[in-house]
């Protein structure tokens, strides 16, 4: 079956009353293997307009109907997957929130009192995908997690079909063992010995980082579990100015307080300065506080910078502090023989956050907290709920992982990654990482050659993050200063808005410190090629240039100033 040619399987039209009437488009016989055929071998589309949820399994004789429904749904999903890889398709069909809330082309978010037929549900499925963002598109550069891995997607489908829970071996025997195997593999790659290491998969890097602070506090002050923060001195933790905000959030959630997070200065490239860390620790001690934890970042969110892990580890060992490495973004580089040197020293960490749903391309969500001290997770979190964790079970209850976690119920995040690892092997992941960083180097080289773009920093990117400004013609000869910065700050948001409205590419932007809004392009999608990188630059340049008036001069407003864009002339 040639799914690359698969058309949309359902179309709809709105009646004056707003009700959707769905009808199937004509399809080739190869696309309808379960549909009845006429004498000339054309397919008769399945009619779901009189079929309802009650007619599906577990209804008696519901197997065939369920099969037909699933086949139609798979057709919709396959069409979406194929479109996600086509460069001629849009990354998104953008609409403002009020437009979606009010209903578009019959698509309604409102919930009915009476059941709707399966035809309507299929239309809703298709429209939900239609108005969403194709994060697997080769020209989606907006987030650290992108791409659409077919094997990972198959794993997610199987996981949802199994619909089980990761808290005990008795309800999730295979997945529990898979998680143990995967965590040991990841610990080995980090550089820990077979005798040490523990971990668990959690709902994202923020939760993984929270676990690290929780465990560090319990390690030094186990009484906090029963007596709370009132029994502890004033604790201080340290993180870099370019680290993820989840470190401060963790301190707030755990009752330590965000004001007790010391933000350590970074150099121009976004790396923590070890001397500043040492000085901050000494200052905290002199003030009567108790430092206990340092977060080092391997792959910062914006710059993609790697903190000097060995130098930070030396300081932590000298002062007896817990070293956590947030490698949510950079952990994937451990899979590359070429790039893993950038995480040298990570084996000295007491805990590590690693998100395979980022650089390794696993479907969201897939994040692990790895802990060097075995048993600490259970000691810290164990509550011995007798209705789940009975001690007299007939199997080895050490495989019941629920008491190691903050959660009770836990989604199966492991299978899709396990299946992807089987499909690619460690070497396949390494090649995937290398390709993403090659795309970043290509973009960096292109930017250096163009007068209409300016790099945020001149050095070669360490990760796949590339940060830059587009400089419109009206600003290219303008001297540096507050006025230029003010106008440059407006460029990226307006280009991004136009880009989203056109829908053919998507990239993020942000300010950072004293730097006004700049674009941040990140690569984690193996489908992205250098042609997509080149397209992005031309798209930005075209949208930026089109914002100028025909003569290339900015019109004069009543204020006497020439605004960056014609639309800026207004009553404000």
Each residue's pLDDT tens digit, 244-290: 999 999 999 999 999 999 999 999 999 999 999 999 999 999 999 99
Same domain, 250 and 324: yes
Q: What is the pLDDT of residue 19?
A: 35
Bridge partner residues of 510 (DSSP): 518
Instruction: Give the pLDDT band (50/70/90) at residue 6.
Output: very low
Between 462 and 552, whose confidence is greater?
462
Helices (H), 400-513: 414-449, 482-489, 491-502
Residue 321 CA to residue 313 CA, distance in Å, equals 9
Rounded to an integer, the average pLDDT of 205-227 is 98
Bridge partner residues of 509 (DSSP): 519
Same domain, 56 and 99: yes
List Cβ neighbours of 366 (8 Å cut-off, separation of 6 or more): 201, 355, 356, 357, 413, 414, 416, 417
305 φ/ψ angles, rounded to the nearest 5 degrees: -85, 155
Same domain, 424 and 278: no
Helix (H) or strand (E) holding 93: none
Indicate the range of 41-45, 81-85, 158-162, 435-439 predicted with least confidence: 41-45
Same domain, 202 and 69: no
Q: What is the pLDDT of residue 364?
A: 95
Q: What is the pLDDT of residue 83?
A: 97
Judge whether 187 lies within some domain. no
**Full domain range(s) for residue 440:** 135-163+414-572
pLDDT of 68 strictly over 60: yes
Same domain, 126 and 200: no
Judge whether 559 lies within some domain. yes
Instruction: Identify the CA nearest to 223 among candidates 235, 212, 211.
Output: 235
pLDDT one-digit tens code per residue, 136-179 = 999 999 999 999 999 999 999 999 999 999 999 999 999 999 99
- Cα separation values, 494 from 49, 497, 544, 549, Å: 44, 5, 8, 15
Residue where one domain finishes, among candidates 117, 133, 149: 133
pLDDT one-digit tens code per residue, 376-398 = 999 999 999 888 999 899 999 99
Instruction: Give the pLDDT band (50/70/90) at residue 105.
Output: confident
Which CATH number belongs to the domain containing residue 148 in this structure? 3.90.1150.170
CA atoms within 13 A on the CB side of 275: 1
Instruction: Identify the CA nearest to 467 among candidates 449, 455, 459.
Output: 455
What's the mean per-residue pLDDT of the chain?
A: 89
Rounded to an integer, the average pLDDT of 546-564 is 40
Same domain, 571 and 520: yes
Residue where one domain finishes, among candidates 133, 153, 184: 133
pLDDT of 1 strictly over 50: no
Judge contact between 323 and 345, C-beta under 8 A: no
Same domain, 39 and 125: yes
Q: Is 341 exposed, middle or buried (0-12, 13-18, 19+ CB in 10 A)?
A: exposed
Residue 497 CA to residue 504 CA, distance in Å, equals 12
Residue 39 CA to residue 42 CA, distance in Å, equals 8
Judge whether 291 lies within some domain. yes
Helices (H), 261-399: 274-286, 309-319, 376-381
pLDDT of 242 strictly over 80: yes
* Maximum Cα interatomic distance, the chain, rounded to a whole number of Å: 90
Residue where one domain finishes, among candidates 115, 133, 151: 133
Residue 289 CA to residue 540 CA, distance in Å, equals 50
Rounded to an integer, the average pLDDT of 458-484 is 96
Q: What is the pLDDT of residue 495?
A: 98
Q: Name the token pair of 363.
A: 């479907």
Q: What is the pLDDT of residue 27?
A: 34
Q: What is the pLDDT of residue 545?
A: 87
Q: Name the token pair of 82.
A: 């194929």
Q: What is the pLDDT of residue 166?
A: 96
Judge contact between 258 and 251, C-beta under 8 A: yes
pLDDT of 569 strictly over 90: no
pLDDT of 561 strictly over 60: no
pLDDT one-digit tens code per residue, 285-300 = 999 999 999 999 999 9
Which CATH number belongs to the domain containing residue 276 in this structure? 3.40.640.10
Judge contact between 351 and 369, C-beta under 8 A: yes
Helices (H), 135-273: 150-162, 173-190, 205-220, 224-227, 246-253
Same domain, 128 and 141: no
Q: What is the pLDDT of residue 15?
A: 33
Instruction: Work out how many domains the chain is built from and give that number.
Output: 3
Same domain, 346 and 448: no
Residue 404 CA to residue 369 CA, distance in Å, equals 12
Judge whether 174 lies within some domain. no
Between 551 and 238, whose confidence is greater?
238
Q: What is the pLDDT of residue 565?
A: 34
Instruction: Give the pLDDT band (50/70/90) at residue 311.
Output: very high
pLDDT one-digit tens code per residue, 509-524 = 999 999 999 999 999 9
Judge whether 21 lies within some domain. no
Judge whether 452 lies within some domain. yes
pLDDT one-digit tens code per residue, 322-334 = 999 999 999 999 9
Same domain, 443 and 334: no
Instruction: Identify the CA nearest to 509 among candidates 540, 531, 482, 486.
Output: 540
The length of the chain, given as a count of residues? 572
Judge whether 399 lies within some domain. no
Indicate the range of 44-53, 149-158, 492-501 predicted with least confidence: 44-53
Q: What is the pLDDT of residue 45?
A: 61
Rounded to an integer, the average pLDDT of 340-368 is 98
Q: Which residues of 102-119 are buried (b: 16+ CB within 10 A; e: fewer)?
A: eeeebbbeeeeeeeebbb
Instruction: Identify the CA nearest to 149 among candidates 414, 464, 421.
Output: 421
Same domain, 329 and 421: no
Among residues of the chain, what percentage have pLDDT more than 90? 85
Q: What is the pLDDT of residue 552?
A: 37
Residue with tokens 């023989």: 337
List Cβ neighbours of 482 (8 Å cut-off, separation of 6 or more): none
Instruction: Identify the CA nearest to 370 among candidates 344, 343, 346, 345.
Output: 346
Judge whether 10 lies within some domain. no
Judge contact between 350 and 327, C-beta under 8 A: no
Q: What is the pLDDT of residue 103?
A: 85
CA angle 135, 140, 143 (to 5 degrees): 75
Angle, in degrees to the nearest 10, between helices 274-286 and 309-319: 20
93 φ/ψ angles, rounded to the nearest 5 degrees: -105, 90
Q: What is the pLDDT of residue 548?
A: 57
Same domain, 301 and 220: yes
Instruction: Identify the CA nearest to 547 among candidates 506, 507, 487.
Output: 487
């Amino acid at each position: 079956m040639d799914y690359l040619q698969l058309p949309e399987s359902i179309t709809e039209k709105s009646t004056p009353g707003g009700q959707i009437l769905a009808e199937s488009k004509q399809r080739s016989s190869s696309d309808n293997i379960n549909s009845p055929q006429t004498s000339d071998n054309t397919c008769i589309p399945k009619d779901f307009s009189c079929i309802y949820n009650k007619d599906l399994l577990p209804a008696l004789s519901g197997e065939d109907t369920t099969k037909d429904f699933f086949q139609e749904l798979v057709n919709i999903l396959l069409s979406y997957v194929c479109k996600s890889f086509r460069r001629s398709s849009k990354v998104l069909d953008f609409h403002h929130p009020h437009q979606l809330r009010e209903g578009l082309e019959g698509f309604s978010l409102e919930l009915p009192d009476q059941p709707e037929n399966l035809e309507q549900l299929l239309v809703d499925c298709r429209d939900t995908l239609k108005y969403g963002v194709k994060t697997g598109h080769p020209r989606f550069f907006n987030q650290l997690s992108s791409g659409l891995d077919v094997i990972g997607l198959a794993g997610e489908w199987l996981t949802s079909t199994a619909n089980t829970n990761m808290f005990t071996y008795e309800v999730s025997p295979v997945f529990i063992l898979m998680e143990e195997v995967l965590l040991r593999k990841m610990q080995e790659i980090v550089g820990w010995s077979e005798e040490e290491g523990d971990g668990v998969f959690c709902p994202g890097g923020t939760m993984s980082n929270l676990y690290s602070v929780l465990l560090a506090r319990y390690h030094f002050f186990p009484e906090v579990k029963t007596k709370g923060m009132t029994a502890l001195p004033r604790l201080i933790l340290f993180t870099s100015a370019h680290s993820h905000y989840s470190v401060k959030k963790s301190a707030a959630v755990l009752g330590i307080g965000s004001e007790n997070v010391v933000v350590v200065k970074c150099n121009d490239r976004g790396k923590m300065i070890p001397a500043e860390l040492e000085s901050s620790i000494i200052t905290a001690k002199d003030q009567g506080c108790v430092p206990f934890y340092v977060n080092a970042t391997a792959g910062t969110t914006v710059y993609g910078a790697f903190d000097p892990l060995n130098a930070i580890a030396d300081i932590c060992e000298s002062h007896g502090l817990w070293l956590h490495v947030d490698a949510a973004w950079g952990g994937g580089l451990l899979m590359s023989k070429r790039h893993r040197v950038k995480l040298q020293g990570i084996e000295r960490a007491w805990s590590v956050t690693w998100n395979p749903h980022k650089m390794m391309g696993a479907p969201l969500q897939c994040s692990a907290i790895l802990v060097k001290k075995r048993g600490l997770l259970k000691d810290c979190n164990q509550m011995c709920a007798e209705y789940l964790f009975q001690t007299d079970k007939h199997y080895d209850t050490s495989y019941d992982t629920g008491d190691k976690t903050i959660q009770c119920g836990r989604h199966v995040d492991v299978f899709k990654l396990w299946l992807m690892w089987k499909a690619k092997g460690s070497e396949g992941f390494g090649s995937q990482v290398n390709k993403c960083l090659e795309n970043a180097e290509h973009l960096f080289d292109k930017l250096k050659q163009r007068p209409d773009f300016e790099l945020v920093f001149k050095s070669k990117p360490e990760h796949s993050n590339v940060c830059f400004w587009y400089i419109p013609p009206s600003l290219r000869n303008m001297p540096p200063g507050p006025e230029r910065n003010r106008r440059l700050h407006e460029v990226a948001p307006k280009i991004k808005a136009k880009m989203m409205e056109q829908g053919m590419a998507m990239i993020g932007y942000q300010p950072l410190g004293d730097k006004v809004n700049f674009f941040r392009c990140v690569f984690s999608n193996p489908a992205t090629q250098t042609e997509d990188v080149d397209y992005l630059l031309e798209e930005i340049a075209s949208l930026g240039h089109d914002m100028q008036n025909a003569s290339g001069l900015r019109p004069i407003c009543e204020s006497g100033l020439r605004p960056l864009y014609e639309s800026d002339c207004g009553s404000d």
